[in-house]
Amino acid sequence: MLKVEGLQQYYGGSHILRNVGFEARPGEVTVVLGRNGVGKTTLLKSLMGLVPLRGGTVTLGERNLSGRPPYERVRAGLAYVPQGREIFGRLTVQDNLLMGLASKPASAKLPPELFELFPVLSQMLNRRGGDLSGGQQQQLAIARALAAGPQVLILDEPTEGIQPSVIKDIGRVIRGLAQRGDMAIILVEQFYDFAAELADQYLVMERGEIIARGPGAEMAAKGVRELVSV
C-alpha cells in the first residue's frame, strides 16, 4: 500500500500542495480529479521524487521513500506515465520498452504480458516511437511503465488527445490490472466519465488541498462532476 501523509509543496512563494494525504491500496484505482492548476500533476511528481518534498512523507509498504531519488522509487515499486506520454520519439518501440527495464538486471526480459495488454505494440517493435499515433504512443508509455512490474502505477491524464476507441482499450487495461489485486493505481484524469467508470475511490483537489473524497460508487450522489466542472 502507498501511504501519503501531510505533503507540502511550493513553487517559489506559491504554496502548491497543502497537507495532502491519502492511501492507495492494491487492487484499487484511486482517481484524482480537479480543475486545471490545482496541483494534480505536482502531486504525482512529488510522489515520484521529480520535485523534492517540502514536507510530509511517502511510504510504500514499510519503506519511507520521502527523501529518495526517482530511480530508487522506481526500484521500490513505483512507475509513472507522465502527461504527454514523453516516449523517446527517435527510438524504436522495442527500445522504448527496454527503457522500462532500466532498474532491472541486464538479463531481464520484457514481460510477454505487455503484448497481451497492448497487441498493437507487437506489430510495431521496429517502428520509431515518434511515428506512432497518439493513442499508440500512450499505450507504449503505459507498457514501458509496466515493464518493471511495479506495485504502484501512476498515470497522469492518459486520455489526453486520444481517440475514443483507444480510450476504451486503456480503460479495460487499467481495470484489468486493478482486478489482479497486486497493484495500486493512481489516476489523474480530466475526463470525468472515464474516471468515474474506473474509480474505486476518488479525491477532489482544489487550490492544492483535497476537498472531497470517498468511494467511486458515490461520485454521482456526492455531485463530484459539479465540483470539477469548469
Residue ranges and CATH numbers for the domains of the chain are 2-87+149-228 (3.40.50.300)
Reduce the DSSP state of residue 177 to 3 states and report it. Answer: helix
Q: Name the one residue in this structure whose C-alpha cell is 491519502.
A: 22
Angle of helix 164-180 relative to helix 134-146, nearest 10 degrees, comes to 10
| Residues whose CB is less than 8 angstroms from the CB of residue 182 and which lie 6 or more positions away in sequence, other chains included | 26, 27, 151
Query: How is residue 163 annotated by DSSP?
Result: -
Q: Mean pLDDT across the chain, nearest whole number?
A: 94
Instruction: Report d(CA 88, CA 119) in Å as an integer.
Output: 20
Element (H, E) at 214: strand 209-215
Tens digits of residue pLDDT in 87-105: 999 999 999 999 999 988 8
Average pLDDT of 13-38? Answer: 95
| Pairing outcome for strands 55-60 and 29-33 | unpaired
Tens digits of residue pLDDT in 111-163: 999 999 999 999 999 999 999 999 999 999 999 999 999 999 999 999 998 99
Predicted confidence (pLDDT) at residue 214 exceeds the cutoff of 90: yes
pTM over 0.85: yes
Q: Specify whether the CB–CB gap between 121 and 170 falls below 8 A.
A: no
Reduce the DSSP state of residue 18 to 3 states and report it. Answer: strand
| Residues whose CB is less than 8 angstroms from the CB of residue 47 and which lie 6 or more positions away in sequence, other chains included | 2, 4, 58, 73, 78, 80, 154, 186
